[in-house]
Amino acid sequence: MAEDVIAFEETLSRCVNCHKREGVTEAYKHITHRLTRKTSRSRRDVVRLCSQNCHADIELMRRLNISSEGLEAVETYTDSIHGRAVALGSEDTADCISCHATNSIHDIYKKEDIHSSIHKSNRVNTCRQCHKNANDKFAQIDVHSAVERHEKPVLFFINMGLGAMFYGSVFSLIGLMILEIYRRRKAGVNMKLRRGTSWPGTSKPETAAGWDDSEEEGIYIIGGPKRLDHPGSVYIIGGIFKVIAFTVLIAVLYQITFSPHGPAVLVPIKEKIEERQRSAILDEVRRNEEYEKHRHFHNVVEYPELPEKLRPVCYICHSNYPHSKHKKVRAILNMHSQFLVCETCHIDAGKGSDIMYKWYNPFNENPEGPFFGTRYDPDTGRLAKVKDHFSKIAPYLRKGGSPGSMLQGQDAPLAQDYMRVRDRLTPDQRENVKKKFHVNIKPKGNECRECHSRMGILELRKLGFEENRAVDLEQLNIRGMITKYQEFYIPNIFN
């Protein structure tokens, strides 16, 4: 199967780490990323996932014999009131799974299936999730409505007429403003910010009919004063209307040129330019990043990224999910990156070294917590939420008085020098330089029992772990679970 298609067996291999194969294959109806009613993804993320991974790929849809309605699903949803609200950032609007997912975790069915949430017998209840007073007539509204001339000519011409009225009104007003400015300039009226003008008028006297020299400059008067000293509020209001008019002009230009909700006349040119600049390598990198999210864990928590100079040197070469070789355990190993720095497991300080472990935060030399993963929320039973998303357990070497950090940061001179010249180095030269970063770093990390035991290297209680959380971590026989069993169940320790 092509690399750009998420293979069934590849995805299934991640599920069977925890679930029995026969059970998960029976329930496996759709490739999702924990798409449930209480999904951790935003509405935009859900729409992006469904469109980019599947429905926007027309070739893939055709190979799967998807109907013409399904081929237009992305476009018609984007043009719907739901799609436009989600595009504007709404979190209270229906996304793809709001309508198409049943109450089961992963099940999405065709609309002809009686179990489908959009089957004609279920649509009213589906709509009532958001629209409490929805009835049969309301449920008949076509959410994915494609307004084509040959299918819905009346609606097509109504849309055309409304569009012509909108654009005609806006451009007529803009044209009127331009003509009035031109006529004022032709009549010799000076546009000033401090002193208002009233049109028609002139800045130079043409006859002796009316010349007012009470101010710095005279104004020619025909039947009365044509220049007034306006209060400051007039200029404030005028300025506000100018800003509004300019904003509307920019919005209209965007609507015509690039917006997916308008003619998008410049989009083909933009796509041609992007196609010339497109890189197969960058496309592959982005695709692999999406795959890594799927491999990592069911629920990927989005944390703010550290500035590059504050990140460890490991990230020069490795991603946020560095463990990828062993399918069976990579999710569990990568999950540790939320709590530990790389050196916590991979440091090799040598015999006789006195190493201690404490919390490290690049923004605070002495973080006080509470730290993520140290306690449970008594109301939910899950790990308690914290404000500190950057502190992780790190190794420190005791020398003399205060302990010294064993972390290598990207702000170090060697790291800065390497990042500046690495593109000029050959692969062999890069490998030789990397060896300097791997001094005192062992390729294989600590065994599970070295941390997950009462006598482990991490003194969990001194690190601030509550008793029940510490006991759970110490009694969890991860090593035995992984080495002795082909199928195993992950308990609530990872909630």
Say how far apart CA 396 and CA 406 lie, in whole Å. Answer: 5
Q: 367: helix, coil or strand?
A: coil
pLDDT at 393: 93
Q: 3: helix, coil or strand?
A: coil
Q: Is 379 exposed, middle or buried (0-12, 13-18, 19+ CB in 10 A)?
A: exposed
pLDDT at 463: 92
Structure tokens at 116: 């489908």
pLDDT tens, residue by residue, 280-332: 888 887 777 666 655 544 445 566 678 877 888 888 888 777 887 776 677 77
Q: 398: helix, coil or strand?
A: coil
Beta bridge partners of 219: 212
Q: Is 179 in contact with 170 (CB distance < 8 Å)?
A: no
Q: Is 118 in contact with 100 (CB distance < 8 Å)?
A: yes
pLDDT at 465: 92
Q: Is 124 in contact with 136 (CB distance < 8 Å)?
A: yes
pLDDT at 196: 47
- Distances in whole angstroms, Cα of residue 148 to Cα of each of 72, 255, 305, 345: 12, 20, 45, 61
pLDDT at 493: 46
Nearest to 432 by CA among 457, 405, 414: 414
H-run or E-run covering 211? strand 211-212
Instruction: Name 306's Cβ contacts closer than 8 Å, sequence gap at least 6.
Output: 362, 390
Structure tokens at 144: 């994915």
Nearest to 84 by CA among 143, 126, 31: 143
Q: Pick out the chain residues at pLDDT < 70.
A: 1-41, 102-107, 149, 151, 189-230, 261, 289-304, 327-328, 352, 401, 476-495
Q: Are strands 355-360 and 392-397 parallel, antiparallel or unpaired?
A: antiparallel
What is the edge-to-edge ordering of all strands in the sheet holding 355-360? 355-360, 392-397, 404-405
pLDDT at 214: 46
Q: Is 406 in contact with 349 (CB distance < 8 Å)?
A: yes
Half-sphere exposure of 37 (CA within 13 A, CB side): 7
Ramachandran sector of residue 381 (left: φ over 0; alpha: ψ -120 to 50; beta: rest): left
- The residue type of 246 is F
Say how far apart CA 397 and CA 402 lie, in whole Å. Answer: 9
pLDDT at 25: 53
Phi/psi of residue 404, nearest 5 degrees = -110, 140
Q: Is 106 in contact with 28 (CB distance < 8 Å)?
A: yes
Ramachandran sector of residue 485 (left: φ over 0; alpha: ψ -120 to 50; beta: rest): beta
